[in-house]
Amino acid sequence: MDDKGDAKPAGSDPAAQWAGLWQGFAESSRQMAEAWSGSMGPFMLARLMEKPAGFSAGNEMSETIEKMAQGPRLADFWDIDRKLALVFGAWMEMRQKLASYNAVTSAPWAEASKRFFDAMSAAGGGNKELPHWREAFAKWSEISNEELIRNQRSDGFLQAQKELLQAGVKLRSRQDEVAEAASAMFGLPSRKDFDEVTRQLTELRREVRALGRRANGQGEAQP
């Protein structure tokens, strides 16, 4: 146990070391955020705004698969392979759209970090007491929320999200086609069959209820 007033040798207090480490980390993060904003940030953001798919350019493999699988259909073989190839192509396309989307959604964090460290530097500069973690977190949350929402309303974000949605739906649709083929192979009713049955059921129900109302007069529904 140390006596109060005793001079502590440098490096003997783990708490002080930790605090020093934390401050060093915070400073490094601030410098990185500044470096990002000052160099690559504007370039990448500009590219994303011009062409949100910029990060997924070079989609040659999925395009080749697409061309190959969309070729002439043969009557007796290769159909299931074609469907599987289309699933693979759609999966690759979705991965690329996801990468593009992730690039767009990660952009605002750099600006949020920069603003946050500026705000903290201003709050804790000089001999001022550092803010309580709750105040610091509330500030971080407020700034990040603003930046994320600002990004969400940008054309680049909306376009990237739309393309990701389109790619995701295409993948699911092609997976369904494989499932349909498998159902047919085993003589099972498919999802399309189910949709057709429910369509007929819904229409039939409407007709029966309309007849019921007519029979009751004045369009009265039968409880």
Binding site for other proteins (CB under 8 A): 13, 15-16, 18-19, 22, 129-130, 132-133, 137, 141, 144-146, 148-150, 152-153, 158-159, 161-162, 165-166, 169-170, 172-173, 176, 191, 194-195, 198-199, 202-203, 205-206, 209, 220-223
Comparing CB distances to other proteins, the nearer of 15 and 185 is 15
Task: Supply 125's token pair.
Answer: 């500069």
Total number of residues shown for the chain: 223
Least distance to other proteins, CB of residue 144, Å: 5
Comparing CB distances to other proteins, the nearer of 33 and 167 is 167
C-alpha separations of 104 from 91, 99, 188 in Å: 20, 9, 43
Least distance to other proteins, CB of residue 111, Å: 14
Task: Determine how many CB atoms are found less than 10 A away from the CB of residue 80.
Answer: 13
Comparing CB distances to other proteins, the nearer of 42 and 124 is 124
Least distance to other proteins, CB of residue 46, Å: 20
Comparing CB distances to other proteins, the nearer of 15 and 215 is 15
Amino acid at 61: M
Comparing CB distances to other proteins, the nearer of 61 and 210 is 210
Query: Are 160 and 101 a contacting pair, CB within 8 Å?
Result: yes
C-alpha separations of 203 from 30, 83, 190, 196, 221 in Å: 63, 32, 20, 11, 17
Least distance to other proteins, CB of residue 49, Å: 15
Return d(Cα 39, Cα 110) in angstroms, integer.
12
Least distance to other proteins, CB of residue 198, Å: 5
Return d(Cα 64, Cα 90) in angstroms, integer.
12
